[in-house]
Structure 1
Amino acid sequence: MNAVWVVLLATVLRLVFANFTGLGIDESYMVAASDHFALSYFDHPLASWWLELGSRALFHSMAPIVVRLPFILLSAVSSWLLYRITARLYTQSAAFWAVVAYNISPVFSLAFGSWVLPDGPLDAALLAALYAMLRALGIAATPTPPQPRLWLAAGFFAGLAMLSKYNAALVLAGAALAMLSDPVSRRELRRFAPWGAAVLAVAMFLPVIWWNASHGWQSFDYQGGRATGVRLHPLAPLTIWGGEALFLLPWLWLPMVCLQIGALRRGPAERRGWLLSLLGLLPVVLFSVVGIWSATKILYHWATPGYLMLLPLLGNWAENFRPRLRNIVAALSGALLAFAALFIAAEATLNFIPGLNHFFPPGKSPLLQIVDWNTTNIRMPRDVQAVAALRWYDAGKISYALRDRLPVTVFGADTHEFGITTPTSSLLHKNILILAMPGNVSQIADQYAPDFMLLRPGPALTVMHGHDVLLVIPTLLGTDLRHVPGT
């Protein structure tokens, strides 16, 4: 029952946070660029896009709380699944502490638990697949007979995980490795059921493959390209692990890593820890290794599916760890997270710290992440028929502010989903307002002037937060787009 209260309190906090903060950069982009249901999308498979589209259709609104609601509900589902998994593997007390760890971790609780991101659906699907797999294999604190019929559920939820985010494949590869390396689990491979589960998961992923094949493999190329490069940075793993520790909370991250190493050292004889540690192994290790040579910055949240799989181990460890110290740390962590969320929501809504953005370089204020750019509508010229940004994330913010009033595209090579939903070629002979940032406005004007019949300075658009100006956006007004820029 205590776990229920933790989940309820965390859900209320997420609802408040979601209602009183604007959409972040990635959220604005996803909501603005996804104007229709598709078999897949440029950045990620379909699950998160369909969730926010479905919520918009149901409530006839694009308000932050509306598009975020499915992700908040899924975080409660993830908490319940985590409790069931940990209680099965260890004890109900361990399950309680696993749920506490999940809900006090900033990346799981706030980022994945309330934002429009693919990670929330991914976490719920992976946990559901793990729970079904545990029952199919008979792995529990007191081993039970295998239930082969649950392989179908495991395959279905594995398919949903793949439809959420590509790095689900790393966790599923860990599951295959655990099956092959555990003698008891390996016997189950003599049945058709686990192979049927794998076939089902692959079949569910086929729409994403079909979409990529129909779109020049754009998504696969984009995501796969993050592992390429010639940059050499031998200390990258330390930086990446440090970032992951901050996202998770260092006092959660360090025990999880130690517990994973311990479970790997014990080997498959201890089936519970062996399975959990192998499920988390590839995400935890791979991205830190890739960071040594990758030319792309490794984002710290990419490895979190691996850490998610380690939370039952953490709950079991926390159950008997210095109760007084454990309770104090958990309470302070939860209070700090709640305070931070409410502070951010209050600042986004009330602007009770005037001039906060002055502490940051122009255009770099973190408030631009939590404030929607709605005030840019005030000076939007009436004869404009479309808007073009030079960066996909600026296009996301301005498009969300416009609420589908005008089509938005991206000039340049890095168009992301806007290159599919609003290709520049679809805007020929229209009057287009160009957001002339970043860079020198005169140089931008010289670059795009040959593509229009006439290109002249447009009105400056301002992003306001109360009475404070967060960002001034210079613009250029192009009359009659004659050529697709860059061709």
Structure 2
Amino acid sequence: MRGDDVRTLQARRAFLWLWGAVCLLKLALATQLPLFVDEAFYWQEGQHPAWAYSDLPGLTAWLIRVGVEVAGNTHLGVRLPFLLIAAALPWLMVRIVEREFDERSAWLAGSATVLLPLAGTLGLLALPDVPMALATLLCLDAGARLLRTVDYNAALLLALGLAIGALSHYRFIAVIGVGLVALACLPEGRRALRDPRVWIAVAFGAAAWVPLLAWNLDNAEAGLRFQLVDRHPWALHPEGILFLPLQMLLVTPLLFAALLWAAWRTLRGGAAVPRLFALLGGLMVGGFFGLGFFADTERVSFHWPLPGYLALLPLLPALLDAWPRWLRRATWALAAAGLASILGYYLAVSIPGVRAQSAALKWYPSNFAGWSTLAEAVEEARAGMPPETRIVAGNFKIGAELGFALEDPRIPVLDHPLNRAHGRAPQLQLWGLHTRGRSDWGDAPVLLVVGATDVPYRELLQRYQALCQRVGPLPPPRVLNIDHGRQRFLLFALDGATKRGGGACVTPALAWIDAPVGGATVQRPFEVTGWAFKEGVGLYRVEVTLDGEVVAEAEYGLPAPGVAGYWGTSADPSHPDVGFRATVGTDVPLPPGRYWLGLRLHGRDRSVEDWSEQPLLIE
């Protein structure tokens, strides 16, 4: 066997092992990983079949509906179609590269598709990026064919890719625009664009946008305004420079450098097809880099350049062959480590104990956390209420996640800033699931489920007061602290007896521990100071807890005039005397170690609320 044949065989075996191992690992993780909030909402969309929705075209919701019909209303059912599509992507890459270059390069490009972290993790979440990646590769394949000769097979492939992309996400418009520019930059591409069969394919792809455009025309362009206007500041901001280090981290540094260098080298001199790949990838990645200085910085956008990286992967094997052996190995090793790190993150998110220990960290995965626990608490609370009790969610996230867990896609949702910030408010209106509050419920009993950590803390009192305006004075809540309160829910059993405006606004308590600060190291005895208040009725007792056990009773009612000044609209009758101080002494049997410091707040309305905890190291 010749040396080239041996190297090809080795590349093929490496690809098969990598592809099989990663697919099996993703399959196992997909059954355990809690649903991300966007997945839950897409599931809800799938339970309300339509051609398009307020946030997306219809394909993602349709795929989820197919998945749950085949595999049941489970995490795997939601994600199964996306896992299958993601598993096919490396093989499609192999097919493209084998035809355009050679077999060994094809297997290497396939392995790179598996190891590229942004591509290798596709399918673990039921998100539109998965069918959009498929559409990108289909268009890439069609474009390469069209440069050689325009025939009906290439035109059909282009039409299919354009249609899938149009049904996947608004963001696919960038792929279309860059593709047309790239073809126009090449003589062979301009020749292809003069063929009517190409424009018939483009027209077919354009027709796939009709349902989305029709939805926008019927709904005051709500989707277009959200995607193109509302979510973006469209003003220059320096955070865009973070694109480079973030992409180097997510793609891995050597692979990121290799892809960009491959694009530059190919553009300086190469055949038509490689130059097409370089143009597509370079313009896509560079375009999103430039867009980052003007576009949305609040929501996740690190995955946007993925279509550009997919276009550059076919160029990678030739570049790596020119690198020293140690550098090639380092590139593959770093890519594998990057993929392992992201899969490891998803594994950690799937383990409740690990999530709980990460409660004090910035990367705490709140959009994955606590939904099954919340569903169990809701079921338990509803069992103790009248049979006709309705569940009402405080925002779209709670409504969608509870809907999936309870198999009820018709849970009404109160108005909330999150509904508008994520473009879901118009869709809830169309489904008739937006509720104004007690004025819509009459005297019916309601179990209201509210998130206490879904708005910035400084806006929490205002949010509670808005709830009072909608539902009346709030009864003592059942507090659900998940992961030491990092994810916090309040369950209110409303019997309908108290009407809107029927009394003073009574809200859940608010508190703060001034000392010791979170993560501090202390020795016993140590003092705990802070403040706490409860709108409308006030508190009469504050207890200090460690790991949920009461270890001290605080002296409550100390002067804290700055609290009322900060909150402004607070009407706790105890202001300004809402401060507390407690001493955790040596009489409490506490061996040295890490503990979670919290508060137990006793309201004059007989409510007992456990406040969120913060880590503390006792020496």
TM-score past 0.5 threshold: yes
**Residue of structure 2 aligned with 1:240, choices 239, 243, 257:** 243
- 2:58 maps to 1:46: yes
Q: Which has the higher helix share?
A: 1
> What is the distance in 2 between the residues matched to 1:326 and 1:342?
24
The residue that corresponds to 2:343 in the other structure is 341
The residue that corresponds to 1:137 in the other structure is 147
The residue that corresponds to 2:228 in the other structure is 224
Deviation of 1:216 after TM superposition, in Å, equals 2.1
The residue that corresponds to 1:160 in the other structure is 164
The residue that corresponds to 2:578 in the other structure is none
Residues 174 and 282, structure 1, Cα contact 8 Å, conserved in 2? yes
> What is the distance in 1 between the residues matched to 2:499 and 2:54?
27
Q: Relative to 1, partners in 2 of residues 1:458 and 1:399: Cα closer, same or farther, differing over 3 Å? A: farther
The residue that corresponds to 2:67 in the other structure is 55
> What is the distance in 2 between the residues matched to 1:478 and 1:119?
41
Secondary structure, aligned partner of 1:387:
strand
Deviation of 1:254 after TM superposition, in Å, equals 1.5
Residues 33 and 396, structure 1, Cα contact 8 Å, conserved in 2? no
> What is the distance in 1 between the residues matched to 2:206 and 2:499?
45
Residues 412 and 435, structure 2, Cα contact 8 Å, conserved in 1? no
> What is the distance in 1 between the residues matched to 2:322 and 2:104?
9
Query: Which runs of 5 or more structure 2 residues have no equivalent in the other structure?
Result: 1-11, 501-619
> What is the distance in 2 between the residues matched to 1:183 and 1:421?
50
Q: Relative to 1, partners in 2 of residues 1:62 and 1:316: Cα closer, same or farther, differing over 3 Å? A: farther
Deviation of 1:244 after TM superposition, in Å, equals 1.9
- 2:35 maps to 1:23: yes
> What is the distance in 2 between the residues matched to 1:343 and 1:287?
25
The residue that corresponds to 1:67 in the other structure is 78
Write the letter of the residue equivalent to 1:473: F
- 2:139 maps to 1:120: no
- With normalisation by structure 2, the TM-score equals 0.68
Secondary structure, aligned partner of 1:457:
coil
Secondary structure, aligned partner of 1:116:
coil
Residues 152 and 197, structure 2, Cα contact 8 Å, conserved in 1? yes
The residue that corresponds to 1:323 in the other structure is 325
Q: Relative to 1, partners in 2 of residues 1:354 and 1:346: Cα closer, same or farther, differing over 3 Å? A: closer
Deviation of 1:80 after TM superposition, in Å, equals 0.9
The higher-RCO structure (CA 8 Å, 6+ apart) is 1
Deviation of 1:124 after TM superposition, in Å, equals 0.9
Q: Looking at CA atoms only, which structure, 1 or 2, has the larger radius of gyration?
A: 2
- 2:197 maps to 1:193: yes
- 2:468 maps to 1:449: yes
Residues 433 and 478, structure 1, Cα contact 8 Å, conserved in 2? yes
Q: Relative to 1, partners in 2 of residues 1:78 and 1:446: Cα closer, same or farther, differing over 3 Å? A: same
Residues 373 and 463, structure 1, Cα contact 8 Å, conserved in 2? no
> What is the distance in 2 between the residues matched to 1:471 and 1:344?
18
Q: Which has the higher strand share?
A: 2
> What is the distance in 2 between the residues matched to 1:343 and 1:291?
25
Residues 387 and 407, structure 1, Cα contact 8 Å, conserved in 2? yes
Deviation of 1:271 after TM superposition, in Å, equals 0.9
Deviation of 1:225 after TM superposition, in Å, equals 1.6
Write the letter of the residue equivalent to 2:390: Q
> What is the distance in 1 between the residues matched to 2:409 and 2:48?
16
The residue that corresponds to 2:390 in the other structure is 385
The residue that corresponds to 1:275 in the other structure is 276
Write the letter of the residue equivalent to 1:318: L
Query: Which runs of 5 or more structure 1 residues have no equivalent in the other structure?
Result: 139-144
The residue that corresponds to 1:407 in the other structure is 411
Write the letter of the residue equivalent to 2:375: N
Write the letter of the residue equivalent to 1:388: A
**Residue of structure 1 aligned with 2:215, choices 211, 216, 221:** 211
Residues 150 and 195, structure 2, Cα contact 8 Å, conserved in 1? no
> What is the distance in 2 between the residues matched to 1:273 and 1:236?
33
Question: Structure 1 runs of 4+ off > 6 angstroms?
Answer: none
Deviation of 1:453 after TM superposition, in Å, equals 5.7
The residue that corresponds to 2:185 in the other structure is 181
Write the letter of the residue equivalent to 1:471: Q
Q: Which moved more, 1:22-31 or 1:67-76?
A: 22-31
The residue that corresponds to 1:365 in the other structure is 364
Residues 399 and 408, structure 1, Cα contact 8 Å, conserved in 2? no
Deviation of 1:183 after TM superposition, in Å, equals 1.5
- 2:80 maps to 1:80: no
1:74-125 per-position Cα deviation (integer Å, ceiling 9, x unaligned): 1121111111111222222222222222211222111x23211100111112
Q: CA RMSD in A?
A: 3.0
Q: Which moved more, 1:443-452 or 1:126-135?
A: 443-452
Q: Relative to 1, partners in 2 of residues 1:32 and 1:98: Cα closer, same or farther, differing over 3 Å? A: same
Query: How many pairs align?
Result: 464
The residue that corresponds to 1:93 in the other structure is 104
Q: Relative to 1, partners in 2 of residues 1:165 and 1:345: Cα closer, same or farther, differing over 3 Å? A: same
1:48-84 per-position Cα deviation (integer Å, ceiling 9, x unaligned): 111111111122x221122111111111211111111
- With normalisation by structure 1, the TM-score equals 0.85
Residues 122 and 161, structure 1, Cα contact 8 Å, conserved in 2? yes
1:286-336 per-position Cα deviation (integer Å, ceiling 9, x unaligned): 332233234644721112111211111123322443335423542464256
